Amino acid sequence: MKRVSSRERTVTELAKPFRMSLAAVSKHLKILDRARLIHRTKRGSFYYVTLNPEALMTAEQWLARYQKFWEARLDSLSRMLEKEPK
Amino acid sequence: MNPTETRLRVKKLIKAKPDRVFEAWTRPELMSQWYAPDAMTVPNAICDLRVGGVYRIEMKGTLIGEEASGTVSGKYIKIVPGELLVFTWRWEGDPSPETVVTVELAEVSGGTEVTLTHDRFSSAKARKQHEYGWTGCLENLAFYWRKNGQH
């Protein structure tokens, strides 16, 4: 994530520091794309990857992201408090 | 709802008293136990619990199988212990304007009903947030004034 936050990068650039095949990196990026954490665009034969800043999200994307985030956080909060002795 | 504003609301019943839920939101050692998503942890959390005070939560670990890190921070707008917490929300490094999170706690039989509202404003609205923050400051001052006046 850190590597895409500063600027647009190609998949080859992103894969360089990792001991992973291009295919494996692409698979991970596909998951991040689906979670709308990054944005992928294809130009020519290359995919370019950028971090999806919240400002660029549509209302639906933003809602979907935080709905998931807060529901999971409140579940986690509830687990922590209900585990504690009363 | 204003069409330039997006509002998300999530409710959850928690089997604990409102005071304990409030502490979990405002004490760094408790915040670090539940704030980070997925297989992430909170190595560092700070919280200056006063209107205008800053909180900051660092998150590290893996998210959907990927090495990830992120820090969220903001300022407190309204604080009513055991009842209400309003704060701004922004991911560091993301140039997007800050958003506002409101956490309301209501005592119900069996525990506390938590109502979380997250508001995203258009940029015009974001500018108005300072105004909102100031109104919050003044209301809070009035609250403590009343409270102290009772002694």
What pLDDT score does B138 carry? Answer: 45
- Three-state SS for A79? helix
Residue B98: give the domain boundaries. 6-149
- Tell me if A1 and B66 make a contact (CB, 8 A cut-off): yes
SS (HEC) of B115-149: EEEEEECCHHHHHHHHHHHHHHHHHHHHHHHHHHH
Question: How many CA within 13 A on the CB side of residue B35?
Answer: 24
Region B97-112: what's the mean pLDDT?
A: 94
Q: For the residues of B59-117, what is the DSSP string, one character each? A: EEEEETTEEEEEEEEEEEEEEETTTEEEEEEEETT--SPPEEEEEEEEEETTEEEEEEE
User: Cα distance from B25 to chain A (closest Cα, Å)?
Assistant: 9
Domain locations in chain A? 1-52, 54-86
Q: How far is CA A22 from CA A2, B35, B53, in A?
A: 18, 33, 45
Other Cβ atoms closer than 10 A to B143: 14
- Tell me if A70 and B10 make a contact (CB, 8 A cut-off): yes
Q: Which residue of B has its CA nearest to A71?
A: B10
Within-domain flag for B1: no
d(CA B1, CA A57): 19
What pLDDT score does B7 carry? Answer: 92
Which of A30, A81, A86 to mutate against chain B (most B CBs within 10 Å)? A81
Closest CA to B104 of B95, B116, B89: B116
- Pairing mode, strands A38-43 and B84-91: unpaired
- Tell me if B10 and A74 make a contact (CB, 8 A cut-off): yes
CB B88, CB B119: distance < 8 Å: no
Residue B43: give its domain's CATH number: 3.30.530.20
Question: How many CA within 13 A on the CB side of residue A46?
Answer: 9
Architecture of domain A1-52: Orthogonal Bundle (1.10)
Binding-site residues on chain A for chain B (CB distance < 8 A): 1-2, 5, 28, 31-32, 35, 37, 51, 53-56, 59, 62-63, 66-67, 69-82, 84, 86
Q: Is the pLDDT of residue B103 over 60?
A: yes
Q: Which residue of A has its CA nearest to B112?
A: A78
Q: Which residue of A has its CA nearest to B123?
A: A55
* Domain count within chain B: 1
Confidence band (pLDDT; 50, 70, 90) for B95?
A: confident
Cβ-count burial B123-136 (b if 16+ within 10 Å, e if not) = eeebeebeebbeeb
CB nearest to B14's CB, from A31, A71, A77: A77
Within-domain flag for B80: yes
Confidence band (pLDDT; 50, 70, 90) for B94?
A: confident
- Tell me if B94 and A54 make a contact (CB, 8 A cut-off): yes
Segments in chain A below pLDDT 50: 1-2, 6
Q: How far is CA A18 from CA A2, A15, B147, in A?
A: 13, 6, 58
Q: Which residue of B has its CA nearest to A86?
A: B16
